[in-house]
């Protein structure tokens, strides 16, 4: 069990940055730390420097809540066919160029069908995946030849928005699980068509339950920037409100009975104080009890 400080101060919550191109996710975290006057800032999901869009930031004790947020993400992207690079996007070294096939929009949409649903996907060699304790991109930039293992990801939605046969570019809209690489999708579509493919442009429109509509430009951050209530970000999870007696037991890390609808074992629950504010997070056990995992206002 991890004990956390009380969520009563102003610096506990989430904010969403509309990340510009040319900066890293860590650059955004550093600017937020300076603007808000706190070191305790973390981001929810790395964006490559060239990628723009939704970058959720957690501030204060809310950093411990990141694993409990909705991991789904949404993107708008442009793929360039007829090109292979060592990074699977236009920032990398060009390995091969060739003509793309002549396809109608309907034919190209059918070519996207194998990438819809649960699929096996190999991450790009230039990625943040760990290989023997080191980031893959670090090893790749040393000149090592990497072929990373495929892993299961889910692409819930993949729509072909535009196809330009004269330039070999297609625009896509997708909703996918955490761990999905749109660069890999571009590469694999190009391989399937026999001409190669690379990601030309990408914008994340939603992540961890946050959307562009709730985002701020990076330059707008300041000491008075308002943070969203952590409960808003946890709205997709079931909740249980504690009585006064239960709350005292909760602060001591004691297990409590599950009330309300039955939940699968190891399900996450949002625990509320008697006044309805966030008390922490628990997980269900096979014996019907709740095991405290994150406790605000921990006693002792």
SS3 (DSSP) at 202? strand
Residue 300, burial from CB neighbour count under 10 angstroms (0-12, 13-18, 19+): exposed
Pairwise CA distance, residues 274 & 291, whole Å: 18
- The strand pairing partners of 176, in sequence order, are 73, 155
| Angle between helix 105-112 and 182-193 (nearest 10) | 120
Length of the chain: 300
| 132 included as an active-site residue | no
Q: Which of 18, 27, 48, 159 is catalytic?
A: 48
Return phi, psi of residue 6, to 5°: -60, 150
> Cα 177 from chain centroid?
8
SS3 (DSSP) at 215? coil
Active site residues: 48
């Amino acid at each position: 069990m991890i004990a956390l400080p009380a969520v009563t101060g102003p610096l506990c919550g989430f904010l969403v940055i509309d990340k510009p191109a040319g900066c890293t996710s860590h650059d955004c975290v550093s600017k937020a730390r300076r603007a808000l006057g706190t070191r305790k800032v973390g981001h929810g999901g790395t964006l490559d420097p060239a990628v723009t869009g939704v970058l959720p930031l957690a501030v204060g004790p809310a950093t411990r809540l990141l694993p409990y947020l909705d991991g789904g993400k949404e993107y708008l992207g442009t793929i360039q066919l007829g090109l292979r690079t060592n990074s699977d996007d236009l920032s990398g070294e060009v390995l091969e160029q060739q003509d793309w096939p002549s396809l109608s929009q309907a034919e190209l949409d059918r070519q996207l069908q194998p990438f819809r649903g649960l699929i096996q996907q190999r991450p790009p060699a230039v990625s943040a995946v760990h290989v023997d304790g080191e980031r893959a991109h670090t090893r790749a930039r040393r000149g090592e030849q990497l072929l990373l293992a495929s892993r299961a990801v889910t692409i819930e939605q993949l729509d072909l928005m535009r196809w330009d046969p004269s330039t070999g570019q297609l625009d896509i809209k997708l909703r996918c699980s955490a761990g999905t690489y749109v660069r890999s999708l571009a590469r694999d579509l190009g391989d399937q068509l026999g001409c190669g493919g690379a990601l030309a442009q990408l914008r994340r429109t939603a992540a961890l339950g946050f959307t562009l509509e709730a985002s701020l430009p990076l330059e707008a951050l300041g000491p008075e920037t308002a943070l969203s209530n952590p409960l808003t970000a946890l709205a997709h999870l079931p909740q249980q409100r504690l009585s006064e007696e239960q709350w005292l037991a909760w602060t001591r890390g004691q297990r409590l009975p599950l009330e309300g609808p039955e939940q699968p074992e190891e399900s996450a629950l949002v625990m509320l104080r008697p006044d309805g504010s966030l008390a922490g997070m628990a997980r269900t056990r096979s014996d019907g009890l709740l095991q405290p995992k994150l406790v605000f206002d921990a006693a002792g």
